[in-house]
Amino acid sequence: MKRALLFASLIVLTGAGAGTATAGPIQWSYSAEVEYSRDYGNDFLLNWTNQSGTVTSGAGEYTSRDLFTTTAFPGPPRDDNGQIAYNFTVRLTLKDIASGQSAVLAYNGWYATQWDKKWTGEDENGNPTWDWDWIHEQSEFGKPTSWDWVTLGGNVYTLRGEGGGMGTTPNGALVVSASPSATPEPTTLALAGIGLTALGVARRVRGRNTAARVGTATA
């Protein structure tokens, strides 16, 4: 009987930790693809610096990976309003290596630059000539002030895309932190349930044996 109780206790203890991620290093990978709101030709294309990769990080440690910059300085504009604007979306696939589970998140970005059309004189026929004078540019990528989170394989991933700013062409980085989840996975709960059931059966058997011994002694 003691062996049965010990076995049931071991099931409960084993189940409590079987589906929970450890606090050691966590390995994850990422890959990114871009979608443009329209075809901008060669004036605007993202230049990937780290389009994909595999990372091993400590629990709760923040890791940053530069994703992209632009390939060229766009301009001057082709119309008279003096502004060029681009919009794009980066779709990021995040994968927990140990479990193989993955999730896809989307981060939007944009870029705008302003030019001033200036009169520069006249040509040989007396027609006015014009040129473009660059004024400023601005860009943004991701959610610089907020975080997303997703649970994969018993680990909680906190992440965001960030980049851009006043006076810069688009640039983007991925910031990720991974920590073990405090919530047991379904496998953990199932094993714990089996262990508790085994304890209940063992106790009932012990109760019947005790009653039998008492009955024999008083007969």
Q: What is the pLDDT of residues 167-183, one digit of tens each?
A: 878 899 999 999 998 75
81 & 29 share domain: yes
| Count of domains forming the chain | 2
61 & 143 share domain: yes
Please tell me the predicted confidence (pLDDT) of residue 82. Answer: 82
pLDDT tens profile 70-124: 876 666 666 677 888 889 999 999 999 999 999 999 999 998 888 888 889 999 9
* Cβ proximity of 129 and 123 under 8 Å: yes
113 & 207 share domain: no
Buried b (16+ CB within 10 A) or exposed e, 97-129: beeeebeebebebebebbbeeeeeeeeeeeeee
98 & 192 share domain: no
73 & 176 share domain: yes
Structure tokens at 215: 């009955």
46 & 91 share domain: yes
32 & 107 share domain: yes
* Cβ proximity of 194 and 15 under 8 Å: yes
95 & 56 share domain: yes
Please give the residue range of the domain that contains residue 83.
24-183
pTM higher than the cut 0.95: no
212 & 116 share domain: no
10 & 39 share domain: no
Q: Is 65 exposed, middle or buried (0-12, 13-18, 19+ CB in 10 A)?
A: middle
Structure tokens at 218: 């008083």
Please tell me the predicted confidence (pLDDT) of residue 13. Answer: 32
Q: How many CB atoms are located within 10 Å of the residue 74 CB?
A: 20
189 & 214 share domain: yes
171 & 207 share domain: no
More confident residue, 3 or 160: 160
Q: What H or E segment, with its residue span, contains residue 15?
A: helix 2-18
Please tell me the predicted confidence (pLDDT) of residue 206. Answer: 53
